[in-house]
Chains A and B, each alone.
Chain A
Amino acid sequence: MKGLNYRLNTGIRRRWSERKTYAGSNTVVGIANSGQAYLSSTEFKNNVVENILTFNKEFGKHNVFLTGVYSYEENEQYFEELTAINFPNDEFTYFGISQASSIESQNDYQRTALISQMLRLNYSFNNTYLLTLTGRRDGFSGFGPDNKWGVFPSVALGWNISREPFLENSTTINQLKLRLSWGINGNQAVDPYSSITRLRDRNTLSGEQSLVGYVPSVIGDKDLGWESSETYNLGLDFGLFNNRVFGDLNLYETNTSDLLLNRTISSVHGINQVTQNIGETQTRGLELSLSVVPWVTQDFNWKISGNFATNKNKIVSLYGYLQEDGSEINDLANAWFVGEPIRVNFDQKMIGVWQLGEEEEAAVYDRVPGDAKIEDVDNNGVLDDKDRQIIGQRDPKYTWGLSNAFQYKNFGLEVFFIGSHGATRHNNLLRDNTAAEIRRNVLKKNWWTPDNPTNEYFRNNDQVKGGSIYEDASFVRLKDITVSYNFPKKVLSKIKLEKLQLFASGRNLLTITDWTAGDPELELPSSQAGILPLQREITFGLTLEF
């Protein structure tokens, strides 16, 4: 039958990785353990089978395109490792493992499977009116027995306005397309076996005899299932003034329900975390990308392209437990608050430093001048858990990128900035534990002293009562800049080269930010150790083409 097409895609991927190391007596680890060998092997298996059936038919101005997909994807991972210590000598490195007096081994296995069934209809009339209907059904192994399958429909409408007769010959509007869509998406981002209640090793000993032991370690939620997001999207693609201005704009609202989250639960369960489908969130956002060519002449060319994204997300509902006034109970243990963004900081807020002359007031909180002044939210003269408050959201409110490219004769200049605004984060590197740990690098601080009555940082003393410091992690960064020179064709033809370009480029050369703990583009880990900032790179280069 004409227009009918069947395709079978299959893929088998295997990846092996092996590690064999030996730490001898010339290493710290080796000395401490009289030699340590570590052997590990990992095998990844990935199998994919996709059956794709398509049918395409045109009836006059009508075009119909049907797609049916049935696919299966399986991922398996095998892991084995062996650590041996106490070697009689370093002679045989890890080949001497049989002589090591202590050998410990571990292994692990994981498997996930995903089955997808999909039917899609694309219909267009005169390439002007477009309709897409999709229905899909996915099954994922990681969910509970009765919730493995999810059904996800979507509808999309498009109107190519620029193909309408009244715009067909317009030089002002070259392209204009309106898009409208509604759909539900599924998310299965959980570890396998999350729905299974299980145990972990907890071994012990009796005299010389090792005894294998197990204790419960995971509370599996049998009802674990798909997280689903319902999205409305309104989009506009446009090209104006001979495509000197072009871009697209999207407005969307996503309502996500049954979010797959690791939730902190009461330790009274004996386990303090569980993976569950929780609550409902709403995200509204706008995304714009725009390119403009403001200047084009024979010798000079300037192109600006940029993108901008902003969204507002909030928790709509959590577990449905209501307070007496009918509003929902917030989850303080996880710092989830109805009506607030999903990721917020929740802590006592430092609002300054107690100064000389404020002794009496400070004494109420058992503090002295030089200690951190913490906001007493309920104004009861005691600093406790009731004085914690939301201190900003952890994700940026908006982000953008802006690139300017200039070309003058054979010289080129490209400048690319990025920006991120509105995130507040805890500054780990401003916290130090002078009493216990002086071995780690932390930031230089503007310590309070009687002569330096700052409100920025408390006194330098191991009896100090401090506070956590949160900072605005907004930044603007010169991400890339490139200067280039292309040798003229005239010269090149003589030496029989197609292209010869000299360039110099720099990355991360400039960052403007109030954030003091390292690189604002990276999120700090919770540990104090800090992480490496993105490096500043300068590259000089030569491009040759024959």
Chain B
Amino acid sequence: MKKLITCLVSSILLISSCSDDLLNENPPNVIYAENLYSDLSGLEAGINGLYSLMRYEREGLNASSSLITDVTMSGTDMFAANHSGNGVSRVSVDWTARNRPDYDVYEGVFLWLYEIVNSSNEIIKNVEEREDIDWSGNELSETENRNLILAEARVARAFAYRHLSYLWGDVPLNLNPSSDGIIRTDWERTPVNEVRQQVVKDLLFAEPIIPEEGSLTGRITKGAVQHYLAELYLTLNKPDSTLFWANKVVNNPAYALITERYGVQVDQAGIAFMDMFKAGNTNREEGNSEALWVFQFKNNVLGGGEYPIMAMHHTSRYRSGDLDLTVTADRGGYGNGRSSLTKWALDNFDDPNDDRFSEYAIRKSFTYRDAAGNAPYPADNLPEGKNYGDKIYLDWSEDITDDHNGIEEWPFSRKYDWADPVDPIGNRESFYDQIYLRAADTYLLKAEAEFKLGDVGAAANTINILRARSHASNITVSDIDIDFILDERARELMAEEPRRYTLLRTGKWAERTMKYNNHGSSTIDPKRDILLPIPQSVIDSNLEKEMPQNPGF
């Protein structure tokens, strides 16, 4: 107030210098880049922001309607749309009509990935160009702190450009933060190989720095960085490099496959293969040596996540329709079944003893249970003529097709079985830590590289390690071809791998999707639909330079 009076008096005397003070904006509640990135804890907060953004892949883009990761999984040989509701899987119902530049989910996914790019660029630029950052803190040296921040930020940038390159092909390679306020209207699409070279560069920078166990629970591990290098080199057709990086993971005892029962449900009937997917078992600290990257979720706590709906999208709607069963944790929680396994994905198992096809891994039947059986959830409603203890076998003999879909009694993967212990219907999201990447995927990259290098025997051996763990019979050299490797990936990584990327990498997406997915795949244009259309707003806002659309759109 005193200042105000002084100002007023002086202003009457027409000295207006102090009025500028009153007009300055110094909001106490606003975070600026210059302040935040000036010391280690601020930069750590920046890295946390990046992990929060990356985790978003397993959340709903528009609250609960569009699971982002479905962009990488649905509309493939493994997943068909099985629900008329919104969501990315609906694109695969009619590629011609729905794979369109004005589809708002594409706008959202594109923006999300570039938000990661921009957030990473901001950190990288500050770290590389500023001299005044206070690097002290924790038990690491200042150089180690600096390198770790830089490595985490570059990994996030690689994460985003990896997605962008698979989804859209050539995309603008932007390595500068937008905070300089320069609005560009002349973006150019960088050839996809150049984009991937940048991903390689970022990963190679990070690989020696990122710790084997990750710098914190839930952060990326060195093994995951090595895995992505292996994957990228396959895409870049350098299988020898893939072999080099895949071996770093496969031969590292820290990333050993889970072959023995462990953890929270060890005293219940089950299989080793499925133990790692149980809440309480998923993290490396909890015994999951196979995990390379585990996304962290927790309900009702700060930073716990918004809409983790991986389960909701893929778990069938057994809670309604003819089944009308009580929602429980062991049944997979609340399911919407928007995207379901294709008949092929279920028939793909070549050995009935394969653990990965057992009832523990794939829900193929239900039992009517009373309150004690369902505890702590209520008893099932019994239809006429049924008794508690009666079994219902799900029938997938007729595939999901254009005329036969929205099926509630459909088998589903149990890798995401989880329900809110208090209110499984009110709280439909899955708030527990979920595996995002594990070493079995690296084994399969290794097998693919070995196959490409002509060492079919080695490929069979690598695959047999995974099969043996799940008690599936050994295969021989004569079984192996690229389709067999893709089949094996489908058995092992069902509902885990970004199947679309795998199929695009091997040039098999259109062929296998049209062959094995019977819902809408006849509308696929193999030349057009291997890429998504660049979002219309991105083309429209590029005023000074025409941004070419992907062919066919």
Contacts and interface: CB of A to CB of B under 8 A. Distances in A.
A86 B300 contact: yes
Contacts of A271: 115, 118, 178
Contacts of B505: none
Contact of A272 (B33, B94, B537): B537
Given A70-B12, A205-B301, A270-B119, A197 B181 contact: yes
Nearest to B19: A115
A270 B33 contact: no
B513 to A, nearest CB: 20
A462 B402 CA distance: 12
Contacts of A108: 29
Interface stretch (A55-63, A208-216, A299-307, A416-424): A208-216
B30 interface: yes
Interface stretch (B72-80, B340-348, B538-546): B538-546
Interface in B276-326: 283, 285, 296-298, 300-305
Interface in A227-273: 263-272
A491 interface: no
A389 to B, nearest CB: 14
B32 interface: yes
Interface stretch (B183-191, B448-456, B484-492): B183-191
B454 to A, nearest CB: 41
B27 A109 contact: yes
A270 B118 contact: yes
B50 A213 contact: yes
Contact of B84 (A32, A148, A436): A436
A319 B64 CA distance: 39
Contacts of B411: none
Given A141-B24, A213-B52, A269-B183, A264 B537 contact: yes
Interface residues of A, number: 83
B438 to A, nearest CB: 18
A446 to B, nearest CB: 23
Nearest to B427: A32
Given A109-B29, A270-B117, A321-B185, A205 B8 contact: no
A142 B118 contact: no
B29 A216 contact: no
Contacts of A222: 181
Interface stretch (B40-48, B242-250, B367-375, B389-397): B40-48
A342 to B, nearest CB: 17
Interface stretch (B197-205, B215-223, B264-272, B475-483): B215-223
A321 B541 CA distance: 12
A267 B174 CA distance: 11
Interface stretch (A328-336, A398-406, A448-456): A328-336
Given A193-B25, A205-B301, A206-B216, A267 B47 contact: no
A281 interface: no
B27 to A, nearest CB: 6
Contacts, number: 251
A139 interface: yes
Nearest to B121: A270
A211 B48 contact: yes
A362 to B, nearest CB: 14
Interface string A318-347: 010100000001011110000000000000
A70 B7 CA distance: 11
Contacts of B55: 204
Interface stretch (B106-114, B142-150, B352-360, B465-473): B106-114
A333 B4 CA distance: 45
Of B25, B27, B423, B543, which is in contact with the most chain A CB atoms at under 10 Å from its CB? B25
A293 interface: no
A104 B110 CA distance: 30
A19 B298 CA distance: 29
Given A34-B422, A329-B544, A331-B541, A204 B29 contact: no
A435 B402 CA distance: 13
Given A271-B118, A272-B111, A51 B46 contact: no
B170 to A, nearest CB: 12
Given A215-B49, A321-B543, A206 B23 contact: no
A214 B43 CA distance: 9
Nearest to A108: B29
A196 B36 CA distance: 14
A219 interface: yes
Contacts of A74: 22
A169 interface: no
A115 B115 CA distance: 37
A192 interface: yes
A70 B32 contact: no
Contacts of B332: none
B553 interface: yes
Interface string B99-133: 00110000100110011111101100000000000
B181 A219 contact: yes
B23 A198 contact: no
Nearest to B297: A205
Nearest to B215: A206
Interface string B31-63: 111001000000011111111110100000000
B178 A269 contact: yes
A171 interface: no
A34 B427 CA distance: 11
Given A197-B179, A198-B32, A148 B49 contact: no
Given A115-B19, A213-B46, A269-B178, A202 B118 contact: no
Contacts of B29: 107-109
Nearest to A269: B178
A102 B45 CA distance: 23
B457 interface: no
B241 interface: no
A473 interface: no
Interface string B522-553: 00000000000001111111111000010001
Of A101, A140, A199, A205, which is in contact with the most chain B CB atoms at under 10 Å from its CB? A205
B123 to A, nearest CB: 10
Contact of B426 (A33, A197, A265): A33
Given A141-B25, A199-B36, A436-B86, A319 B538 contact: no
Nearest to A195: B25
A266 B22 contact: no
B537 A333 contact: yes
The 4 closest A-B pairs by CB, nearest first: A270-B118, A213-B48, A203-B303, A213-B49
Interface of A: 31-34, 49, 51, 70, 72, 74, 85-86, 101-102, 104, 107-111, 113, 115, 117, 139-142, 145, 148, 192-193, 195-200, 202-208, 210-216, 219-223, 263-272, 274, 276, 319, 321, 329, 331-334, 366, 384-385, 433, 435-436, 462-463, 465
Given A110-B27, A202-B53, A214-B48, 6 more contacts: A117-B16, A200-B31, A207-B218, A211-B216, A213-B303, A463-B94
5 contacts: A115-B23, A202-B52, A206-B219, A266-B537, A268-B184
